[in-house]
Amino acid sequence: VTILSLKNDLTPSHLNRLEKSLQLQAHRGPDAKSIWANSKVALGHNRLSIIDLSSSANQPFYNEDLGLTIVFNGEIYNYLSLKKELKSLGYHFITTSDTEVLLAAFRHYGKTICEHLIGMFAFVIYDHQNQSVFAARDRFGEKPFFYIHTDEEFLFASELGALAELYTRALTINQSAVVDLMENMFINPHHSIYSEVSIFPQGSYRDWE
């Protein structure tokens, strides 16, 4: 769950919304819950431990040497080969998680990182030095990634209910989605049931500075 303020004016009210949002999707990650925030971005995460079970791999995951913080949903299947390559290039690791490898890979490859990843993922990375935000989703769209864009902020979440909690106004039904349900018994994956909610395109990325 992420709140990106386009005006660098995050307040305790934003963090309260984020906390409630995490509570709504606690079933997605019962092992740990945490929030990291500054005036520009607030990152929240419910963790389901799969690879590295230690608390050192909890998210939002911050690597001081790299100057990066990440929230990541998914699994990187080729993280071991990536880790070996990155180690040979001088990168050091303190956990056995694929999350830490993902951060090092982003620092090394930058915006082309997705070309080097095999797996299912949706993630948001904050670069402390540049104060920039990078978001990406895997090419098959296996991991859900919803967002709302207003003049003041971008809101991201893995579930519609959590996203609705972040939004300060009421959501309205998308009539095109209703037609989809009536005619095809499913909603076109390019839009959601709510008019205000967009679906982050599969196999894509976006960055903000």
How far is Cα 21 from Cα 42, in angstroms, rounded to an integer?
12
pLDDT of residue 165: 94
Q: What is the pTM of this model?
A: 0.91
- What is the 8-class DSSP label of residue 119? E
pLDDT at 10: 96
Which one, of 132, 194, 164, lies nearest residue 6 by Cα? 132
pLDDT one digit per residue (tens) for the chain, 209 residues: 999 999 999 999 999 999 999 988 877 666 668 899 999 999 999 866 566 555 676 779 999 999 999 999 999 999 999 999 999 999 999 999 999 999 999 999 999 999 999 999 999 999 999 999 999 999 999 999 999 999 999 999 999 999 999 999 999 999 988 888 888 877 877 789 999 999 999 999 999 98
pLDDT of 201 reads 94
Match 């009210």 to its residue by tokens.
Answer: 13
pLDDT at 59: 78
- Assigned token pair, 81: 């080969």
| Burial (0-12, 13-18, 19+ Cβ within 10 Å), 2 | buried
